[in-house]
Structure 1
Amino acid sequence: MQTYDTLVEALDDLNRKGFTLDFNLAGDSLICRSKDLQLSPEQFHIVDVYRFEGVSDPDDNSILYAIESKDGQKGTLVNAYGAYADELSDEMVEKLKID
């Protein structure tokens, strides 16, 4: 797995590798507004996960997911963790769990 120093560096490299869609969490699914696309947890898999921790500000903690849908559409999801993490369905929490 590739390692990155910053979230921006990771997003730029993943974009060059074809992960061009911008996914957002919507409780029980992922959505991509630019393509009017909605994916339930069984419709995608996580290719890679990268964790970034803010050195000077703990509020800057985030996780970057490289995601591919069952039909081959690729994109990224950036999610905060800790106190400001989004509320998710149990199924989505299980899908995004990092060991």
Structure 2
Amino acid sequence: MPYNNYPTLSGALNDLKKRGYTEDFNLEENCIVCSSKSLELKPEEFYIDEVHRFEGMSNPDDNSVIYAISSSSGVKGVLVDAYGPYAQAITPEMARKLRA
């Protein structure tokens, strides 16, 4: 899985958008959702192309991760989530997919 060393979360998001990851995904317990396309993707229907982690300099609670995601239907976008103690509760299947 490719990894670029981005200094900021916004820099990563801007670059990923330029590279075609234009949709915003939201994490649900057992899937990811793209509201603008009324699309719900189960773990077997999407791929994690890149993962970028960011740690808060002044506050360790500010841990974020960006997933660059593509789907079998050709939709590409990003999922921004917290990690560590503030990570959302998800099914074991989603955890295996996102935390592999």
TM-score range, shorter chain: over 0.9
User: Unaligned regions of 5+ residues in structure 2, if any?
Assistant: none
Normalising by structure 2, we get a TM-score of 0.94
Is residue 93 from structure 1 mapped to residue 95 from structure 2 by the alignment? yes
- In the other structure, the counterpart of 1:43 is 45
- In the other structure, the counterpart of 1:25 is 27
Deviation digits for residues 42-84 of structure 1, max 9, x if unmatched?
0000000001000101111011000000121100001101111
User: What letter corresponds to residue 78 of structure 2 in structure 1?
Assistant: T
User: Unaligned regions of 5+ residues in structure 1, if any?
Assistant: none
User: What letter corresponds to residue 10 of structure 1 in structure 2?
Assistant: A
Aligned equivalents of 1:92 and 1:17: distance in 2?
A: 25
User: What letter corresponds to residue 35 of structure 1 in structure 2?
Assistant: K
Aligned with residue 16 of structure 2, among 14, 17, 20: 14
The aligned length equals 98
- In the other structure, the counterpart of 2:69 is 67
Cα RMSD between the aligned structures?
A: 0.8
Secondary structure of 1:56 counterpart: coil
Aligned equivalents of 1:8 and 1:52: distance in 2?
A: 11
